[in-house]
Structure 1
Amino acid sequence: MGRLTTTSSLDTAVLRSLEDIQDPHLPASLVDLGMIVGVRVSDATAHVELCLPCTSCPAVRLLEEEVVKAAQRVEGVHDVEVRQAWERPWRRDAVTPRAVDALREIGVQL
C-alpha cells in the first residue's frame, strides 16, 4: 500500500489535519483513500495535491473547500493552494488497510 511521505514537521501537521476530511460518499478519509498525493508548505502556503478517482466527481468543490479549511487550521499556514493532480492517476495501492477494511464493511471490494 502506498503512503504519502512529508519532508517537514509543518508538512506533517497539514497532512494530519487533512486526515480529518471524510469522503462524502465512503466511510474513509481522503488521506486513507489515497486522494491526497502531495503536501508541501513553503512561505506559509500549503500546497496540496488532490487526486480524484474520476474526472466527473460531483464533490470536487466541496473537497477542495474542506482541504483549505483543514490546512488553514494548522499554525503557521496562512494560505492554501489546492491542485488537482490529473497527471497522477488515483491508484488502489495508495489506499490504506484501514480504508480497505472500512470499505469492505459496506460491501466495497478493492
Structure 2
Amino acid sequence: MPRSSSSRRANKWARPHRELGASLNSVPRAAEGPDGTWVVQQVRGSSSGKVYTCPGCLQDLPARMDHIVAWRSEEEFGFNTGVGARRHWHRACFRSRPPR
C-alpha cells in the first residue's frame, strides 16, 4: 500500500540550519591551555543515535554520553566558527590533550 505524502518524514537537508548552540547544553566559554585557546561547550547526552569520533583517542563517542564540543578560538571566526570546525571530545581526552 503506498504511503501518503503527509506521512513522510521531512528531509533534514531541506530544513534551515540551527544556530550553533541550539542543540548544546551550555554557553560556550574560552579555555586556555598549553595548546592555545579553545571555545568549549559541555553537552549532555542525547538519544539522537549519532556516533562521533573523539579526536583525542580516535574512539567512538556515542551522542548518548555527556561530552565536550570544542574548537580552537584562533580559527578564522573564533567563537562564531561554523559547524565544520567543531569536534566532539570525551571529557577526559579533552582535559589530557597534548600541547601543540
Superposed pair shares fold, TM > 0.5:
no
* TM-score class, shorter: under 0.3
Q: Which has the larger radius of gyration?
A: 2
Q: Higher helix fraction: Structure 1 or Structure 2?
A: 1
Larger relative contact order (Cα-Cα within 8 Å, sequence gap ≥ 6): 1
TM-score using structure 1 length = 0.26
